[in-house]
Structure 1
Amino acid sequence: MIDDPATDKANPRIRRGFVAPRRAPYAASVEDFHDATRPGTRDALVERLAGGVEPGRRRDIGQLGAWTASLPALADVLVKAGLQRLWVGLEYRPYQAGNKRADAIVAGFSPDGRPAYLIVELKQWQRAAWDAVGEQVTGAIVSNERVKHPYDQAHDYGQFIRNFTSGMHDEDGVTIAAAAYLHNATESSVESLRTAGMPQARGTFSGDPDGRERFIELLTTTFDAGRDGSPAWDALASADYQQGPTLLEAAARIFADRERYPLTDEQYDVFGRIQNAVSDAINPAADREQAIIVVKGGPGTGKTWIALHLLGANAHAGRQVSYCTNSGSLRNALQTSAGFNKLLGGERAKRLITSARTYHDFLERRTKLDLLIIDEAQRLEQWTVLSGHHNSRARQDHLEANNITQLFELKKSAKVLVLFIDEDQAATSKDFVTIARAREIAHRTGASLEVLELTEQHRSGGSQAYEAWVDALVDGEPAIWHDEDTFTVSVADTPTELERTVFAGFPLGEARLVAGFCWDWRKPTVDSIHQLPFDIDIDGWKKHWNLHKALDGYPKDTDWARTPSGAKQVGSVFTAQGFEFPQVGVIIGPDLVWDDTAGRMTVRMEASRYAKLVQLHNRSPHEDVRIRNQYRVLLTRAMRGVVLYSTDPATRALLRRIVNPA
């Protein structure tokens, strides 16, 4: 039994979380910042910064040296520009930017009175060149990774601030600009960097007299030197996380303008390595023109985000590319979204955004795609079924005799196959593909195989602690949860309380209710929602599942996630996977309950109404892990908070003990 931590703080089963690091470990006026960077005080500033960032960076000698060299150079140019009244924040960590931090943010007000922020990327490079083909910096440092343009680094931090920070969304009301300051370089030694584009040309500065003069001109035109910058800095430093555009809202914009919604450094590295593989595959002189790249990552690590960036980048480059997902809800939402239809037209959207069964005719295709991007790859099935639930006997015999699996069909359709996968989200009876099976297909088709991993968390308020807490709850030793600044968890004693709490404070139609599949899903045989019997009944609290077909303004299942009236229905793993919502209420049904003797949550397959999964479990008892995975999916759909309710009293009592104990 897990004891109340108030009375048993040493209970070994209860693991403690961590407190998120501060957004910026140092902020001061430019005047004070300049004083802090002088020889007699600089070491204290560096020590303060070292103590304010993640432990892994605290004794990075290179980072300590960078602060020691770069911060005085920045302070000098700010003072020379006469901006002593402005404020500077160092090592600021924008929401949703992963573990990366902006080197410096100068805060103040523009000449017309708007809050203004300049994100500055500092580099000690003495020289650097821009590789336009590879879209990366060369000649600056020795690295096996793609090196992003320093202006783009600063710009991306600014976009994270713009997209995910309260009070910063209004482009007309708040100025957010970017600059790269290479204080050891000369204008001639980094001239190539300014060929990357007009923004990069205007925003990249060397440390020689000409470079400093251009930098000072940018500073003095961006800021009003006579105004105190502290209110502007305070507004940023105290700003809360605010959800930016949803994936569906951003999808078409990513396709049209990837710079508007940048990738984190971790995501960009994965993106770059995939792009390099595509370039190699379409090069006639390449040793091998076949590749499978597996990108594994948990919920909220940005798999779909990267997939959409790849789709946009390669389509604009004139390459043959398609995006594929077996999630009917996500595919339908993307195909029919207003942004994509306006940008591409409905037919082209359907050609770019496909299902796996599209590629069953790979033998008849005259040319291969350059790149085929598979999202939610764990949801690929063993065999492609063209219509209905089963193939004809003759077709199925042919597939099995020749081992033509769905994954084999997909690889034979493209030179480069990218699989975005989370094996811990294999939740339905048909989910088949694993990394091991991808390796088998690579060997069979003569393709190279590379496995990349995403670790940063961008859903659940960016909380890696919450992701670990969910894993421990559904398939381990439950841990104590304490709310963080960006994510909250609460427990309801009744489904009525759950519903009231979930929707409080959110515009109509934004939050959602989801549940484990423990109630039958009825097919409508009536013409009105009022005639349709409720599917879910918990002590008199009654709800419909998402509907098989639209009725009276209520959406069908594939539209449930993106239609406001879907909030009045309860979603399942089939309709929620791949989507995110500001707040989610999760009903944990009788198929996953707390077992005090075992000290963990236990699966009760007999309580599931998912007949095919029950049949699979009867053949392979270890497949009860799919019930755990279903709840892992449901518990990780929220951006800002989840509310939990269990139909089982013992499980509710557990949740009360471990969620925000006094």
Structure 2
Amino acid sequence: MLATDGSVPERRLGEVIAEHLRRTARINPSDAERRSWDRSLPVLARDLVDAGLGAVEMLVEYQLPLTSKRADVVLAGVDRRTGGDAYVVVELKQWSQAELFEDDPNLVLVRGVAGPRLHPTLQVQNYCDYITDFVGALEGRSEAVRGVAYLHNAADLDVEDLYREVLGEQSRMFTKSRRGAFLDYLRERFASEPGAGAADRLLTSAVRPSKQLLKLAAAEIRDREQFVLLDEQRLAYEIVLNSVDRARKADSKEVVIVSGGPGSGKSVIALSLLGELSRQGRDVLHATGSRSFTETLRRVPGKGSSKVKNLFKYFNSFTKAERNGLDVLICDEAHRIRETSQNRYTPARLRSDRRQVDELIDAARVPVFLLDEHQVVRPGEMGTVAEIRSHAEARGFRVHEVSLDEQFRCGGSRAYEEWVLRLLGLRAGGPVPWLGDDHFSVSAAESPQVLEALLRSKLDKSYSVRMTAGFCWPWSEPREDNTLVHDIRLDDWSRPWNVKGERAVGDPGRWLRAGRLCLHRPGLRVRLERRDHRPGPGLPRRQARHRPGGQ
């Protein structure tokens, strides 16, 4: 527990939180983060005490389930009206002056900060939606979670623009000019009773699995928004929509580059944009350089609809495309862009030295590139942020760049991501020993048989498991009797690759159909266990907890 009654002096608050994060999450906070804690958290704590709510719990740097994103503070207490659990997510901003970005209601410009930022009430609204989506204890109880953006250094006149788009009761905004209103809001929300029980129930609740991308893609494209986009994800989404409006009005072209690692939400952004732009009647297509990914998208979101299937193309589909014939071209997995669209099967009359990245840029007024620079599948793939930016800027186009590196990394483990990058030589410093993480268990299996036995034991405990691996094995066609060839052989152990085509054949088809065990190409024998993925008590107590009224 942290307190402002002298047991933890305010001047040491940042130091204590930093040490907690280093110990529990293997995160080394920056000096700027420490300064922000020292300047903002005591302000909020004093407000709670002055409101007579010193027993309300402050969950500092609350980690959102299954992500590495953290909300500044979640207040946990007793609902004054119902007596149930009540929570307020607080986004603390030290901004002194801000205004809307080009009259866009969802983007703001902050003095001293380069580039647009997400409107803080939209940011905190997304946090509230995400928490109620993933915390089992809050299922069907969205009214228990509210959000507040607290700009405690700004006066109303300094951020007057931002009040035009405050969302309503579930997401409010207060400045230092409205401190009295903020205290009234807290008193209306919370009783003066201790909030420890509500905090415990939030932190120990089961975490529901995230929505599966492809299962929801059809509804996402045809009906309405299905995904909750957080922070940089939502920022990228809004920047694209803003660029589309501006490019059409000004008869211009803008390029958007979104980079991030596995699990950072690039394809969620892509499908969210595809759905929204389709509903707006924009000319939009989705393209990748991966046959399996494209065909899966055509088969799942496009099931029963030739129109939806036609939204998904390949990068080499745009060699003869009309210049700016589309409003938007969404280039997913853009790290798979090749030097040219030509291959050995291209007829001589159609061959060209034109670069594939230029073809994709030319095809739309707003080309959007989503990529992970650490992923290269085949020789000749050259999609990088620098390469795309260089081609766009050389032709005088405005470029927006958004990095997703701060969120959703490998289900929330920054330590695991860093360890893998260094192990594979993708980050300087060389391999280091695995030091552990509350969310992951990493161990080496002595043999494929041991690894498979471990995975099968997890199936019995309601885990989802997968055996994966490298690109080095042959992949035979099914036999005449429709069984799979065991291409993968390690000593006396063998298994087939994943199935070919649209239906399961032979073993392991029953696991594939159940979505439980997928046998892919085995390589590095590493067992990964998501400790917060199974049903039952999930999240450990990993947040720093701060009770403003005492220990």
TM-score normalised by the shorter chain: which range applies?
0.7 to 0.9
Per the alignment, residue 351 of structure 1 pairs with 310
CA contact (8 A) 2:66 2:408 kept: yes
Per-residue deviation, residues 452-473 of structure 1 (Å, max 9, x unmatched): 5442252433222222322333
Quote how far apart the aligned CAs of 1:213 are.
5.2
Name 2:431's counterpart in structure 1: 478
The structure with the largest alpha-carbon Rg is: 1
Q: Report the CA distance shift for 1:252/1:217 in structure 2 as closer, same or farther (over 3 A).
A: farther
CA contact (8 A) 1:461 1:639 kept: no
Paired with 1:495 and 1:236, the residues of 2 have a C-alpha distance of 39
Post-superposition shift, 1:263? 2.0
Change (3 A) 1:41 1:498: closer
Residues 444-488 of structure 1: per-residue CA shift (max 9 Å, x gap): 755455655442252433222222322333338432113311112
Q: Aligned pair in 2 of structure 1 residues 436, 244: CA closer, same or farther (>3 Å)?
A: closer
Distance 1:199 1:333, change over 3 A: farther
Q: In 2, distance between residues paired with 1:138 and 1:405?
A: 36
Partner of 1:64: helix, strand, or coil?
A: helix
Asked if 1:55 corresponds to 2:29, the answer is yes
1:174/1:526 Cα in 2 relative to 1: closer, same or farther (>3 Å)?
Answer: farther
Query: Matches of residues 332-351 of structure 1 in structure 2 within 5 Å?
Result: 332-337=295-300, 340=301, 346-351=305-310
Give, in whole Å, the separation in 1 of the partners of 2:514 and 2:121. 43
Shift of residue 273 of structure 1? 4.5
C-alpha distance in 1 between matches for 2:346 and 2:529: 43
Tell me if structure 2 keeps the 8 A contact 1:311–1:323: yes
1:362 maps to a residue whose letter is A
CA distance in 1, matches of 2:438, 2:264: 19
CA distance in 2, matches of 1:150, 1:293: 22
Is 1:487 aligned with 2:440? yes
The one-letter amino acid of 2:448's match is P
Q: Is the 8 A contact 2:96 2:111 kept in 1?
A: no
Between 1:505-514 and 1:373-382, the stretch displaced more is 505-514
2:547 maps to which residue?
none
Structure having the larger proportion of residues in helix: 1
1:444-455 maps to which residues of 2 (within 5 A)? 447-449=397-399, 452-455=402-405
Task: Give the Å deviation of 1:233.
Answer: 0.7
Give 2:478's aligned amino acid. Answer: P
Match of 1:330 among 246, 268, 293: 293
Change over 3 Å in CA distance of 1:336–1:555 after alignment to 2: farther
Contact between 1:114 and 1:173, CA under 8 Å: does it hold in 2?
no
Call closer, same or farther: CA 1:259–1:200 in 2, change over 3 Å: farther
Counterpart of 2:249 in 1: which secondary structure? coil
2-structure distance, mates of 1:453, 1:130: 21
The answer for the alignment partner of 1:514 in structure 2 is 468
8 Å CA contact retained: 2:227, 2:268: no
- Tell me, which stretches of 5 or more residues in structure 1 are unaligned? 1-25, 573-585, 590-634, 642-662
Per-residue deviation, residues 107-158 of structure 1 (Å, max 9, x unmatched) = 3357556433211234566776656942346587443232333322322333
Tell me, in whole angstroms, the C-alpha distance in 1 between the residues paired with 2:227 and 2:83: 25
Q: Matched residue of 1:522: which SS? A: coil
- Alignment partner of 1:180 is 2:149: yes
Change beyond 3 A, Cα 1:57–1:539: same
Structure 1 residues 276-291: aligned runs within 5 Å: 276-284=242-250, 289-291=252-254
The residue type paired with residue 117 of structure 2 is V
Choose from 307, 311, 316 the match for 2:274: 311
| Structure-1 separation of matches of 2:452 and 2:409 | 22
The within-5 A match list for 1:644-659 is none
| Conserved? CA contact 2:90–2:148, under 8 Å | yes
The letter of the residue matching 2:332 is D
> Residue in 2 aligned with 1:564?
513
Q: How does 1:416-435 map to 2 (within 5 A)?
A: 416-429=366-379, 431-435=381-385
Separation in 2, partners of 1:201, 1:567: 38
Q: Distance in 2 between matches of 1:427 and 1:493?
A: 28
After TM superposition, give the deviation of residue 511 of structure 1 in Å.
1.9
Correspondence for 2:486: 534
CA distance in 1, matches of 2:34, 2:183: 29
3-state SS in 2 of match to 1:106: strand
Q: Is 1:150 matched with 2:120?
A: yes
- Of 465-474 and 273-282, deviating more is 273-282
Instruction: Provide the rounded CA distance (Å) in 2 between the counterparts of 1:561 and 1:276.
Output: 46
What's the TM-score, normalizing by structure 2?
0.77
Q: Retained in 2: the 8 A contact 1:527–1:551?
A: no
Say if 2:52 is the partner of 1:89.
no
Q: CA deviation at 1:426?
A: 1.0
Q: Secondary structure at the match of 2:250?
A: coil
- Give CA-to-partner distance per residue, 1:375-419, whole Å, 9 cap, x none: 11122344446xxx8535334xx323xx23433332221122222
**What is aligned with 1:377?**
334
- Report the AA paired with residue 113 of structure 2: S
- 1:587 corresponds to which residue? 523
Q: TM-score, normalised by structure 1?
A: 0.66
- Structure-1 residue corresponding to 2:543: none
Rounded Cα–Cα distance in structure 2 between residues aligned with 1:119 and 1:325: 37
Name the SS of the counterpart of 1:587 in structure 2: coil
Of the candidates 434, 438, 458, which is equivalent to residue 505 of structure 1? 458
Per-residue CA deviation, residues 583-602 of structure 1 (Å, 9 max, x unaligned), is xxx5339xxxxxxxxxxxxx
Correspondence 1:67 to 2:35: no
CA distance in 2, matches of 1:336, 1:522: 23
Q: Classify 1:72/1:41 alpha carbon distance in 2 versus 1 (closer, same or farther; 3 Å).
A: same
Q: What secondary structure, in the 3-state scheme, does the structure 1 residue paired with 2:530 have?
A: strand
Relative contact order, higher structure (CA 8 A, sep 6+): 2
For 1:335 and 1:89, locate their aligned partners in 2 and report how far apart those are by CA, in whole Å. 43
1:448–1:244 Cα change, 3 Å: same
Conserved 8 A contact 1:51-1:58: no
SS at match of 2:104: coil
Equivalent of residue 262 in structure 1, options 229, 237, 244: 229
Describe the SS at the equivalent of 1:101.
strand
What is the identity, as a one-letter code, of the residue corresponding to 1:325? T
Query: Aligned pair in 2 of structure 1 residues 411, 463: CA closer, same or farther (>3 Å)?
Result: same
Q: Give the AA of the match of 1:65.
A: R
Against the structure 1 CA distance between its residues 552 and 475, is the aligned structure 2 distance closer, same or farther, given a 3 Å change threshold? closer
C-alpha separation between the residues in 2 aligned to 1:122 and 1:457?
18
Contact 2:147–2:171 at 8 Å: present in 1 too? no
- Deviation at 1:178? 1.4
Structure 2 counterpart of 1:640: 530
Partner of 2:536: none
Task: Give the aligned partner of residue 468 of structure 1.
Answer: 418
Q: Is the 1:509–1:565 Cα contact (8 Å) retained in structure 2?
A: no
CA contact (8 A) 1:46 1:67 kept: no
Matched position secondary structure for 2:424: helix
SS of 2:145's partner is strand
User: How far apart are the structure 2 equivalents of 1:441 and 1:561?
Assistant: 47
Report the equivalent of 1:546. Answer: 498
Equivalent position of 1:361 in the other structure? 320
Change (3 A) 1:308 1:71: farther
Aligned-residue CA RMSD in angstroms?
A: 4.3
Note the C-alpha offset of 1:281. Answer: 2.5
Give aligned-pair identity as a percent.
28
Q: CA deviation at 1:490?
A: 1.9
2:165 to 193, 196, 209: 196
State the match for 2:210 in structure 1.
Answer: 244
Q: Give the match for residue 652 of structure 1.
A: none
**Within 1, Cα distance between the matches of 2:125 and 2:212?**
21
1:491 Cα deviation from its structure 2 partner: 1.8
Q: Equivalent residue of 1:523, what SS?
A: coil
Note if contact 1:117-1:176 (Cα within 8 Å) is conserved in structure 2. yes
Distance 1:562 1:195 in 2: 52
CA spacing shift, 1:75–1:505, aligned 2, 3 Å:
farther
Residues in 2 aligned to 1:110 and 1:132: alpha-carbon distance in whole angstroms: 41
